[in-house]
Amino acid sequence: MNKNEFSKALGELIRDELLSGNLVKIDGLGAFSRRHIPAEEETQPDGTILLHPPKDTIRFEPDEETL
């Protein structure tokens, strides 16, 4: 097994767990979690009001040991 296959398999695992709403913690690296950003309005200087759609993003919290 090469490193690429390992990293790819690790990425899929993290994705599935995040989509399932779980938190993935790797010791010595940090914790991956899913954060939901709700829809929000943005008022631009010209008066235009934009409505941004909600968004799910990956939140990474590095482990204290890595810092």
Partner 1 sequence: MKKITADIIAKTLSEKLNIHEDNIREQLSELASKVSSLEEGFDIKVEGIGIFRKTGGKLQYVPDPVLDMEINYEFAGQQPITLVEGKGSFFPTGGKTEDQKDKGRDQNEFINVSPSDEDSSDDYDALLNEFKGDEPGDSDDESIDVIPEDKPKLKRFDFTDEPEPLTSQDDIPKKKKTEEKPDTEDEIRRTISAIEGDDDAEAEDTPVSKKPDEFDHEIEEIGEVIPPEKLKQIDDEDLFDDEDEKASDELAVEFTTLLKKMRDKADKASELESKEPKAEEKDDEDETADDIPEKPVAKVEKPEPPKEEPKPVFEEIERPKFEPESKPKTADDDFKPKRKSEETEHHVFRQPKVESRPKREEPEPIVASGGSGSGDDNLPRLGARTETEKPSGSRSSDRKQADNSTIGIMIVILLLVFGLGAGLYFSGLLDSEDTEETEITEQPVDELPPLPDPVDIETPVMDDPEPEPEPTPTPTPEPDFAFGMTGTFDTSVSEFYGIIVASVTSESSALSLRNELRDEGFRAHHYSLRLPEAGVRWRVVVGQFENREDAIEAAASLPAPYRNNYFTTTIRL
Rg (CA), the chain: 17
Listed residue (32, 36, 35, 38) closest to 13, CA to CA: 32
Q: How far is the CB of 14 from partner 1 (least distance, A)?
A: 7
Q: How far is the CB of 65 from partner 1 (least distance, A)?
A: 7
Return the residues of window 18-47 that contact partner 1 according to CB under 8 A.
18-30, 33-34, 36, 38-39, 41-42, 44-47
Asked whether the beta carbons of 63 and 39 are under 8 A apart, the reply is: no
Element (H, E) at 5: helix 3-19
Binding residues for partner 1 (CB under 8 A): 1, 3-15, 17-30, 33-34, 36, 38-39, 41-42, 44-58, 60, 62-63, 65-67
